[in-house]
A and B are shown apart, each in its own frame.
Chain A
Amino acid sequence: MKFAVLVFPGSNCDIDCYKAVKEIGADVEYVWHTATDLSSFDAILVPGGFSYGDYLRCGAVARFANVMNEVVKAAEQGKYVLGICNGFQILTEANLLPGALIRNNGLKFRCHQAPLEVVNNENPFTREYAKGEVINIPIAHGEGNYYCDEATLTELQANNQIIFRYAADSNPNGSIDNIAGISNKAGNVVGMMPHPERAMSEILGSADGKRMFTSILNAWREQHGTTING
C-alpha cells in the first residue's frame, strides 16, 4: 500500500505526516501540488499548514491546485483521503466534505492536547479504536470552528458521518455539535482538525494517533487480501 502526502506552498505538517506513515512501515511519497496523476497511490493525505498563506479563506486557493482534480478522482474511486487541519479546510472548500471551517468562537489560535471521543469506529480510518473511546490528539488551529446548516447536521448524524467529537465539554472552537472530524457519505474521505500525525509517540505527549494510520493500512490490506500486521 502506498500513501501520498500532498505538499502545497505553505503546508507545514507534510513532514510529520510522511514520518507517521514511515513509522507504521508503509510506503509514502511527497506529491507536489502541481502533480496531475495520483493513480499509483492508495491513500492521499492532505496535511496541515497554511496553504497559499490562507489568503482569502483557509483552503480556498489550494482547492484549485492541479492535484486537487486528482484527489476528487481518487475519492470517487473509493481511495482513502484524509485531510488534517488545513487539509480538512481544503476538502470542505473542494466540496469533498460538507460544511465549512470558520474562525474559532474565542478568536484565539488554540494549540494544545484535546480529548476526542471516537464517535464512529466502523470506518477504514478509525477501526482500531473502540466506539466511545476517548483519545488524546493535539489541535493547532485558529479556524477550526466546524459549521454546517441544520439539514446537513441532521444528515451527518443520520449517516454516522461524525467520526470524532471534542469530549467532555472541551469544545475548543465553538464547532457545531462538538464536531472535530467528519467523513463523506461513502466513508472514504475524512477530515479532522486535530493532528493524529503529531500523536505518534508517548514521549511527545500521546501515541493515540498511531492507530489512525494503522487502521488505514490494515483496512486497505483487508480489502486487498494481504496479510494484516498487528
Chain B
Amino acid sequence: MKAKVYVTIKENVLDPQGVAVQGALHTLGFAEVEKVRIGKYLEIDLNTASRAEAEAQVKEMSEKLLANTVVEDYRIELED
C-alpha cells in the first residue's frame, strides 16, 4: 500500500513563499494567477494490505509528525 500525503498551509495563515512565487509568475506575464500556495508532498510505502489500517496509521502519522495542525492542513490518498 502506498500513501500520498499533501501538507498545505491553512487558508487563514499567510504563506510568504506562495506570495513570492505569485509575484514572480506575475512578473513572467502570467497575469491570470490569482493565488499560489506552497506545500509538501510525501510518499509513504506501507507494509499492509488493509486500507482501513493504512488510513488510520497515516492519519496518526500526519497528526503527530507530518503536519503541524496549528498552521497546516493535510490530505491523504491511498493507492493499492
Q: Which A residues form the contact surface with B (CB < 8 A)?
A: 56-57, 60-61, 64, 92-93, 98-100, 102-107, 145, 147-149, 174
**Are A148's CB and B16's CB within 8 A?**
no
A-contacting residues, B37-80, CB 8 Å: 40, 65-66, 68, 70-71
Query: A60 vs B71: C-alpha distance in the bound complex, in angstroms?
Result: 13
Q: Nearest-CB distance from B77 to chain A (Å)?
A: 19
Given A57-B68, A100-B70, 14 extra CB contacts under 8 A: A56-B40, A99-B70, A100-B68, A100-B71, A102-B13, A102-B14, A103-B17, A104-B16, A107-B17, A147-B13, A147-B71, A148-B70, A149-B70, A174-B14
Query: A100 vs B10: C-alpha distance in the bound complex, in angstroms?
Result: 12
Could you name 9 residue pairs across A and B whose Cβ atoms are closer than 8 Å? A61-B65, A98-B70, A100-B70, A104-B16, A147-B70, A147-B71, A149-B70, A174-B14, A174-B16
Query: A64 vs B66: C-alpha distance in the bound complex, in angstroms?
Result: 12
Can you name the residue of chain B whose Cβ is closest to the Cβ of A63?
B65
Task: List B contacts of A56 (CB < 8 A).
Answer: 40, 65-66
**Are A93's CB and B17's CB within 8 A?**
no
Of the candidates B13, B14, B65, which one forms a contact with A60 in the assembled complex, judged by CB atoms under 8 Å apart? B65
Query: A61 vs B16: C-alpha distance in the bound complex, in angstroms?
Result: 23
Question: Contacts A56-B66, A60-B65 known; A102 to B71 CB distance under 8 Å?
Answer: yes
Query: A172 vs B79: C-alpha distance in the bound complex, in angstroms?
Result: 44
**Are A107's CB and B16's CB within 8 A?**
yes
Residues of B in contact with A, size category: 10 to 19
Q: Nearest-CB distance from B58 to chain A (Å)?
A: 15
A-contacting residues, B17-37, CB 8 Å: 17, 20
Task: List B contacts of A147 (CB < 8 A).
Answer: 13, 70-71
Task: List B contacts of A145 (CB < 8 A).
Answer: 14, 16
Can you name the residue of chain A whose Cβ is closest to the Cβ of B69?
A100
Can you name the residue of chain A whose Cβ is closest to the Cβ of B64?
A64
**Are B16's CB and A105's CB within 8 A?**
yes
Q: Nearest-CB distance from B6 to chain A (Å)?
A: 14
Can you name the residue of chain B whose Cβ is closest to the Cβ of A60?
B65
**Are B71's CB and A106's CB within 8 A?**
no
Query: A99 vs B69: C-alpha distance in the bound complex, in angstroms?
Result: 10
Of the candidates A64, A98, A104, A105, which one forms a contact with B65 in the assembled complex, judged by CB atoms under 8 Å apart? A64
Task: List A contacts of B17 (CB < 8 A).
Answer: 103, 107
Query: A104 vs B20: C-alpha distance in the bound complex, in angstroms?
Result: 12
Q: Nearest-CB distance from A2 to chain B (Å)?
A: 32
Q: Nearest-CB distance from B41 to chain A (Å)?
A: 12
Query: A103 vs B18: C-alpha distance in the bound complex, in angstroms?
Result: 11
Query: A56 vs B74: C-alpha distance in the bound complex, in angstroms?
Result: 14
Q: Nearest-CB distance from B22 to chain A (Å)?
A: 13
Query: A147 vs B70: C-alpha distance in the bound complex, in angstroms?
Result: 8
Query: A98 vs B69: C-alpha distance in the bound complex, in angstroms?
Result: 12
Query: A149 vs B65: C-alpha distance in the bound complex, in angstroms?
Result: 20
Task: List A contacts of B9 (CB < 8 A).
Answer: 102
